[in-house]
Amino acid sequence: MQLVVGLGNPGPRYAATRHNIGFRCLEMLARRLRLDFTAAGPQYRAAVGDGPAGPVTLLQPWTYMNRSGDALLAWARETGWRVGVAPDSPDPLSPESAAATTAAAESAAAGEGTAAAAPVPAVVPIVVCDDLHLALGSVRIRGRGSDGGQKGLASVTQAIGGQSFPRVRLGVGPPDAAVPPIDWADYVLADFAAEELAAAAELAQYGADALLAVLAEGWPTAAVRYNRRGRPELPG
């Protein structure tokens, strides 16, 4: 089973903000996969079905950005899946690894195997989120790394106990200047400006394409194909 976590804040107040591009991208991915989100209690919404490499869950934390990891742990408790960081391997999220994890879980649920059987591997989340340090339209896919001040990413890192999980970072920053740290919260919690709306919509679609590639082919291949700086010129 594969798990994709899109970061954002719940409710209409935040729907059009820069901080919610992760939610928008995940919703676009759900449409591509013909999956529907359902409320699963107060902490998250989930869409469950088939992805390009097998069973997949798309998760939207409903706990606000700074407590995204709480929602992830609630999902793990309620579904019985373990979540954790990637093992030392070139690409732990390859379709082959995902299929093996699913098969092991199904065997355990059916009571097969012995007490000495290896434990089911942890599900390694794929996280998609905004990044104000990247210019609007940029995409950076990595298999691990620091949170870079992104509070939701920091919360997920703390919840699962490490930094070794794929992340798709979607740039929402200005093209020519850095945002001063004192203005970070105000900047990401503001709506996209009118002149940014077309680029933000294209970014959500492009990010969904990138996530599909991560699910189908693993993050290293997806990074080669989809990492970019800035955005292509959009029609006027």
Q: What pLDDT digit, counting tens, does each position of 181-208 carry?
A: 999 999 999 999 999 999 999 999 999 9
- Give the model's pLDDT for residue 92: 40
Q: What pLDDT digit, counting tens, does each position of 148-193 carry?
A: 999 999 999 999 999 999 999 999 999 888 899 999 999 999 999 9
Q: The whole model's pTM is what?
A: 0.85
As a whole number of Å, the end-to-end CA separation of the chain is 41
Sheet holding 139-142, edge to edge: 38-39, 44-51, 54-61, 2-6, 126-135, 167-173, 139-142
Nearest partner of 170 among 217, 125, 226, 122, judged by Cα:
226
In the chain, how long is the greatest CA-to-CA distance?
Answer: 63
Nearest partner of 173 among 142, 150, 156, 152, judged by Cα:
150
Contacts of 136 (CB under 8 A, 6+ apart): 171, 172, 173, 174, 175, 196, 199, 200, 203, 230, 231
Residues serving a catalytic function are 19
Q: What pLDDT digit, counting tens, does each position of 76-125 carry?
A: 999 999 999 998 644 444 444 444 444 434 443 455 444 445 566 689 99
Q: What is the dihedral of CA 225, 226, 230, 235, to 10 degrees?
A: 90
H/E stretch holding 98: helix 95-109
- Give the model's pLDDT for residue 215: 98
The token duo for 208 is 């969904």
C-alpha–C-alpha distance, residues 233 and 236, integer Å: 9
Q: What pLDDT digit, counting tens, does each position of 5-46 carry?
A: 999 999 999 999 999 999 999 999 999 999 999 987 789 999
- Give the model's pLDDT for residue 119: 63
The token duo for 233 is 């010129």
- 178 burial (CB, 10 Å; 0-12 / 13-18 / 19+) is exposed
CATH topology of domain 2-226: Rossmann fold (3.40.50)
SS3 139: strand
